[in-house]
């Protein structure tokens, strides 16, 4: 296990230590490590849920994580386009503009 504090520890460690513990140990330590789905697939499911529920405060982190976990920019664009018709135009537009900004910042390849 890394000795570097997690992102959630840095953000909320002093404020909500139990929530940080649950996030690190249960969510990312257990749920994300289960063998039934790959990290890539879990990222696609998570991004889809967050876009659908219009969780703009969480989608940026998970779009970045999805790219780290092997999803391509083009796959995420396609998923967001598909979701836009099922979840609403504002949800899709918010997610696609966030993804565009991330791709520009990180200089991700086009496909």
Where in the sequence is the domain holding 49, given as residue range(s)?
Answer: 38-111
Q: How many domains does the chain have?
A: 2
Is there a single domain that holds both residue 104 and residue 54? yes
Rounded to the nearest angstrom, the gap between the alpha carbon of residue 83 and the centroid of all alpha carbons in its chain is: 15
Q: What is the pLDDT of residue 111?
A: 53
Global pTM?
0.87
Is there a single domain that holds both residue 51 and residue 14? no
Contact between 81 and 46 (Cβ < 8 Å):
no
Q: What is the pLDDT of residue 109?
A: 57
Q: Of 69, 81, 58, 72, which Cα lies nearest the Cα of 103?
A: 72
Q: Whole-angstrom Cα distance, residue 17 to residue 29?
A: 16
Is there a single domain that holds both residue 48 and residue 26? no
Is there a single domain that holds both residue 42 and residue 28? no
Per-residue pLDDT of the chain (111 residues; tens, 9 = 90+): 567 898 889 989 899 999 999 999 999 999 999 999 999 999 999 999 999 999 999 999 999 999 999 999 999 999 999 999 999 999 999 999 999 999 999 975 555
Is there a single domain that holds both residue 109 and residue 58? yes
Is there a single domain that holds both residue 25 and residue 42? no
Is there a single domain that holds both residue 97 and residue 70? yes
């Amino acid at each position: 296990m890394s000795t570097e504090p997690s992102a959630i520890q840095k953000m909320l460690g002093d404020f909500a230590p139990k929530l940080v513990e649950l996030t690190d140990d249960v969510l990312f330590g257990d749920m994300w490590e289960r063998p039934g789905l790959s990290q890539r697939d879990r990222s696609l499911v998570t991004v889809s849920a967050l876009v659908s529920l219009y969780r703009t405060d969480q989608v940026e982190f998970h779009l970045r994580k999805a790219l780290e976990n092997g999803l391509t920019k083009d796959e995420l664009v396609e998923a967001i386009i598909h979701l836009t018709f099922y979840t609403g135009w504002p949800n899709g537009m918010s997610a696609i503009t966030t993804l565009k900004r991330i791709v520009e910042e990180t200089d991700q390849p086009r496909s």
